Amino acid sequence: MDNGTVFRKATSFGMVLCCFLMLVITLVTAPVTHAEQSAKLQAENAFFRGSHFLSRDNISEALPALEEAAKLDPSVAKYRRVLAIALNNHGIRLAKEGKPLEGLKSIEKAISIEPDDTELRGNFVSAVLQAVAGQNDKVKVEDKIYFVKKILELNPENASAKKALAALINNQGISQSKGAEISSEIDTLNSALQLDPTNQKIKKNLSMVYYNMSLEKGKENAFEEQIELLRKAASYVTQDAVISDSLGRALSNLAVIKGKQGKVDEQIALLKESLQLIPDDPIVKKNLAAAYNNQAINSKELKTPERISLLENALKIDPKNQTTLSNLSTVLVRQAVDDFKAGSSKNAISILERAIKTDPSNKAAQSNLAVIYHNEALKKGEEGKTEEEIQLLNKALSLASGNKTIKTDLALAYNDHAVNLGKKGDHKQELNLLMRASKLDSDNPTIKENLARVKQRDTSKDKKTETAPPAKKKRDG
């Protein structure tokens, strides 16, 4: 028990006796009965006897006599003082002899007699803290807690006592947890944490209690309660992988239920939080992507740009999901149609091109883009920009290869461009374009006439014959 700590004895026995042997005559101003005189004499005799035994270091005989003196005449401070010092010194000796509990009880009795004596109180504090430090099996946990609480009664702000009591309560909570109510264990640990708010062991134990409770709720599919318990568990420890993983999965499980209930907003919020905790979990990713997709398709109040945004979010998580790709392409077509109707052909073309890139099999996107290419091509033709007209018509035809109108207009565009090149003397390109036009619309009389003229010119150029001027086909806008 003795680990080097030395307690100061409050007063030496020699000094006690010396003080006592100096007789002081006291004048009595109030009348005293025979019984009172007898008690005082008995107290004085008991005190002499106790002091005598104390001077001979016979504590077992001294203490009863000194206690008798203080009991018979409690008005004499000297009796109480000597008794308190004797109890204190006896307690110190017992502690050194390997009897810490008996020693603490003796010192506690001393300060109960002289509660304002700072030296006695200091000895008591030192003795208690020494007894609770380390592994001391001679003092039960309950007794340790009792005496540390006694320190805090004397000095509520004693930091060492607070930390010691927190550790004792924490250990008591762990040792009793197997047979105790969970709520009782939590209360015990919380009271320990209040005493020592930075104690990581207590926080860890509280965290584990809540975590174990959450496991039971998970088995019952009570996911909301499980999540609440896991959040509490996580609040006591930082970045615990096991708790984070369990919380992520619990959030994901609850999200599935919310999705079945049609509460897609709540489902998405839960899955987003889950993905932050377990970012590589494939099930969470798949479920979140599906939730974004379902909300984009099923929510009636959403505007088209909002649907596009949700589907884009889904593809960021699951970029190869064919259903989402198809849905995004379909929604993009709707947006393109709206833009076209609003007079923004350029935006419509850009969006439809993206729709086809997203889902090359989207026939609606192909046909709508072909129509817009065709219309834009005709405008270019009216402006005399035949090369741009041909380029747009070729794009339209690549999307709608069976469209006879587009074929005919492309053939006539080739014809008109050929005529212009012929006037500029580029007869080789003139012939090439007319042949392309003929392949597209071989029965068109204008194209046939121009092609025949060019061929005849080429065969008779050496004869220097003059030919009729070429013809252009007039087309409806």
Task: Give me the helices (H) in 304-403, please.
Answer: 304-317, 322-341, 345-358, 363-382, 386-399
Q: How far is CA 404 from the centre of its chain?
A: 62
Across the range 203-226, mean pLDDT stands at 93
Rounded to 10 degrees, what is the CA torsion of 184, 186, 191, 197? 170
Q: How far is CA 355 from the centre of its chain?
A: 38
Rounded to 10 degrees, what is the CA torsion of 333, 335, 339, 342? 120
Across the range 308-335, mean pLDDT stands at 96
Whether the CB-CB separation of 362 and 329 falls below 8 Å is answered with: yes
Residue 89: its pLDDT value, please? 92
Q: Which tokens sit at 127?
A: 């003795």
Q: What is the band of 265 on the pLDDT scale with cuts at 50, 70, 90?
A: very high
Whether the CB-CB separation of 147 and 104 falls below 8 Å is answered with: yes
Burial (0-12, 13-18, 19+ Cβ within 10 Å), 241: exposed
Q: What angle do CA 403, 404, 410 make, to 5 degrees?
A: 95
Residue 389: its pLDDT value, please? 93
Residues of the chain with CATH 1.25.40.10: 1-23+36-156
Residue 18: its pLDDT value, please? 37
Q: Please check the confidence at residue 169 and state whether its pLDDT lies above 80.
A: no
The amino acid at residue 26 is T
pLDDT tens digits for range 5-35: 334 444 433 333 333 333 332 333 345 455 6
| Interatomic CA distance for residues 173 and 165, integer angstroms | 12
Q: Please check the confidence at residue 77 and state whether its pLDDT lies above 60.
A: yes
Which residues make Cβ contacts (< 8 Å) with residue 94, sequence separation at least 6?
A: 100, 102, 103, 106
Across the range 111-121, mean pLDDT stands at 89
Across the range 400-416, mean pLDDT stands at 93
pLDDT tens digits for range 418-467: 999 988 889 899 899 999 999 999 899 999 999 889 888 877 664 554 45
| Interatomic CA distance for residues 336 and 366, integer angstroms | 12
Whether the CB-CB separation of 307 and 297 falls below 8 Å is answered with: yes
Q: What is the band of 174 on the pLDDT scale with cuts at 50, 70, 90?
A: low
Q: Which fold has domain 1-23+36-156?
A: 1.25.40
234 three-class SS: helix
Which residues make Cβ contacts (< 8 Å) with residue 313, sequence separation at least 6?
A: 292
Q: What angle do CA 227, 228, 233 make, to 5 degrees?
A: 90
Q: Please check the confidence at residue 279 and state whether its pLDDT lies above 80.
A: yes
Nearest in space to 72 (alpha carbons), one of 113, 40, 103, 99 = 40
| Interatomic CA distance for residues 402 and 366, integer angstroms | 12
| Interatomic CA distance for residues 190 and 196, integer angstroms | 10
Residue 16: its pLDDT value, please? 38
| Interatomic CA distance for residues 308 and 156, integer angstroms | 64
Task: Tell me the CA distances in angstroms from 121 to 156, 166, 219, 356, one per residue in order.
Answer: 13, 21, 54, 88
The amino acid at residue 91 is G
CB neighbourhood size of 318 (10 A):
19
| Interatomic CA distance for residues 127 and 132, integer angstroms | 9
pLDDT, mean over the chain: 85
- Of 115-124, 280-289, 316-325, least confident by mean pLDDT is 115-124
Q: Which tokens sit at 98?
A: 């390997």
Q: Please check the confidence at residue 321 and state whether its pLDDT lies above 80.
A: yes
14 three-class SS: helix
108 three-class SS: helix
Residue 12: its pLDDT value, please? 39
Q: Which tokens sit at 126?
A: 């030192």
Taking the chain, what is the end-to-end CA distance rounded to the nearest angstrom?
110
Q: Please check the confidence at residue 474 and state whether its pLDDT lies above 60.
A: no
Residue 231: its pLDDT value, please? 95
> Where do we find the tokens 């494939």?
282
- Tell me the helices (H) and strands (E) count for the chain, helix number first: 22, 0
Q: Comparing 49 with 148, which gets the higher pLDDT?
A: 49
Across the range 53-65, mean pLDDT stands at 89
Whether the CB-CB separation of 453 and 470 falls below 8 Å is answered with: yes
